[in-house]
Structure 1
């Protein structure tokens, strides 16, 4: 079968966008997983963190389904949602839209460019749940807020929440960030284990200065990524809860892929988060896929020029991160 796609990224978190609204594709659930494993393979011509399937919705402007590179389906993806927001808004000539995701219908909107000529979108991150059974996390308590998990570390303190993807967040210092502990414990909780039967995204967060944080995430089903949108959102919320940053104010979130902005809202004991960042297209391509043989060939590819502009943001972010992390 021939499949047309766009490759793009949010904060360096890269995805293949497949449009099921304009094209008459009909994928089975197994085929979606197989496509993700095949096309996202980093040793192939494409390679990506996952596939974003853009679909019709009965009660929203569009629907997003996210399949990780290992073939598993994610309930949400903040960086991917920005790409889908752009795609839907441009296709339907909208500045605001509502996108159906696995757990909720989420508001998205086009925003002023982070820097000139970087397509920038704001997406809603919700629902946000602290109950451990929402992740799930098997501990004999209802929630985990800034506490130790002895099976993982005797020194780190963790906060667990679902946004709605499951996240385990630790505020760390530079020495902990530079150690191997994140890799070790992330591989533990994403392999066979009793704590997180479905795995979990693990983020280490370093406060850079008031209103600015650095986040590095080991993403469930992927591994270390340049950025994870829901992780950056969850990390912003945790820093606000600990008084490091402020509710209703912009937090600049730096990552290995660049920078985004988050605004955490609190109303009547509940939280929502606005995630604001780039939605950059790299190229569009046509591929001929043979799932029976587990192979594909790329027949057409047209590059966009947007990455050159995005690299200016990456450079500025790196120049800020490197000296500040050591401070």
Structure 2
């Protein structure tokens, strides 16, 4: 089977985009999982954090399904949604559109460049759920906001929420970022455990200054990533709820892959987040795949030049992180 794809990234969180809007592929869900495990392998000719399948929708401009590198399906992906937003907008000649995701239909739009010549898109992150059963998190309470979990840490305070991916967020200091605490904790809750039976994304968040945060995320099904869009959105919301940042104002969110912006909206007790950031294409490729043999061959590859521009944004962000976090 021949498959055409685009590799791109949002904040360094990289994906393979497979078009099912115009291409007549007939993948089963098992095929999608197998493709993700095969093509996303970092030792292969491609490698990525996951695959974005762009599909037809009965009631939106397109539909996004996200399969992680381990073959699991994610209910949402903010960085991936920006890539799908760009793909659909350019394909259909639009500046605004609606994308169907597993849990919601989300508004997306093209925006002014976040950094000179960096393709920038805004995507809606919602719904926001605080009920622990939405993650799920097995604790004898309905919600968890800025509280300790004795089984995980005696010092950290956590907030749990789903957007709709499950997130566990801790505000930390610099010294807590410099040790392996996050890795040990994240691996614990993403192995078989009683607290998080389905695993959870774990983010450590450091306030840099008013309106500016650093977020590092261990993503379930992936591990540490350069950035996780829903995690940055959820982290921004938590900083607003704790009074560190303000609702309806731009928050600059720095990550190991670069920088995005978030705006947190509150309306009658409900929340949504706008995630604004790059949608950068790396290359187009054509591959020949045999799922029966669990193998593929790279037939052709044509590189874009956008990464050179994005690296200027990334360099600026990494310099700030280096000064503020690593000392």
Same fold (TM over 0.5): yes
Please say if residues 40 and 51 of structure 2, whose CA atoms lie closer than 8 Å, have aligned partners that are also in contact: yes
1:109-128 deviation digits (Å, cap 9, x = unpaired): 00000112100000000000
Structure 2 CA distance for aligned equivalents of residues 28 and 231 of structure 1: 29
**CA-CA distance at 1:325 after TM superposition:** 1.9
Select between 175-184 and 130-139 the one with higher mean Cα deviation: 175-184
**CA-CA distance at 1:232 after TM superposition:** 0.2
Structure 1 CA distance for aligned equivalents of residues 225 and 84 of structure 2: 19
- Matched with 1:108 is 108
Structure 2 CA distance for aligned equivalents of residues 38 and 153 of structure 1: 36
- Matched with 1:88 is 88
- Matched with 1:167 is 167
Structure 2 CA distance for aligned equivalents of residues 265 and 315 of structure 1: 30
Structure 2 CA distance for aligned equivalents of residues 310 and 26 of structure 1: 34
- Matched with 1:9 is 9
- Matched with 2:212 is 212
Please say if residues 40 and 48 of structure 2, whose CA atoms lie closer than 8 Å, have aligned partners that are also in contact: yes
Structure 2 CA distance for aligned equivalents of residues 196 and 324 of structure 1: 32
Structure 1 CA distance for aligned equivalents of residues 12 and 325 of structure 2: 20
1:275-294 deviation digits (Å, cap 9, x = unpaired): 00000000000000011111
Residue pairs, 1:29-44, within 5 angstroms: 29-44=29-44
Structure 1 CA distance for aligned equivalents of residues 212 and 322 of structure 2: 13
Structure 1 CA distance for aligned equivalents of residues 245 and 53 of structure 2: 35
SS at 1:319 equivalent: helix
- Matched with 1:197 is 197
- Matched with 1:244 is 244
Structure 1 CA distance for aligned equivalents of residues 110 and 308 of structure 2: 21
SS at 2:87 equivalent: helix
Structure 2 CA distance for aligned equivalents of residues 143 and 179 of structure 1: 28
- Matched with 2:263 is 263
Structure 1 CA distance for aligned equivalents of residues 307 and 230 of structure 2: 23
Structure 2 CA distance for aligned equivalents of residues 191 and 325 of structure 1: 29
- Give 5+ residue unaligned stretches, structure 2: none
- Matched with 2:50 is 50
CA RMSD of aligned residues (A): 0.6
Residue pairs, 1:291-302, within 5 angstroms: 291-302=291-302
1:255-305 deviation digits (Å, cap 9, x = unpaired): 000000000000101100000000000000000001111100000100000
TM-score under structure 2 length normalisation: 0.99
SS at 1:167 equivalent: strand
Structure 2 CA distance for aligned equivalents of residues 265 and 169 of structure 1: 19
- Matched with 1:177 is 177
1:148-171 deviation digits (Å, cap 9, x = unpaired): 000000000000000000000000
**CA-CA distance at 1:231 after TM superposition:** 0.1
**CA-CA distance at 1:71 after TM superposition:** 0.1
Q: Which runs of 4+ in 1 moved over 2 A?
A: none
- Matched with 1:70 is 70
TM-score under structure 1 length normalisation: 0.99
Task: Give the length in aligned residue pairs.
Answer: 327
Please say if residues 178 and 326 of structure 2, whose CA atoms lie closer than 8 Å, have aligned partners that are also in contact: no
SS at 1:321 equivalent: helix
Structure 1 CA distance for aligned equivalents of residues 68 and 293 of structure 2: 21
SS at 1:139 equivalent: coil
- Give 5+ residue unaligned stretches, structure 1: none
**CA-CA distance at 1:324 after TM superposition:** 1.6
**CA-CA distance at 1:326 after TM superposition:** 5.1
- Matched with 2:281 is 281
1:208-231 deviation digits (Å, cap 9, x = unpaired): 111100000000000000000000
Structure 2 CA distance for aligned equivalents of residues 151 and 282 of structure 1: 42
SS at 1:192 equivalent: coil
Structure 2 CA distance for aligned equivalents of residues 260 and 278 of structure 1: 8
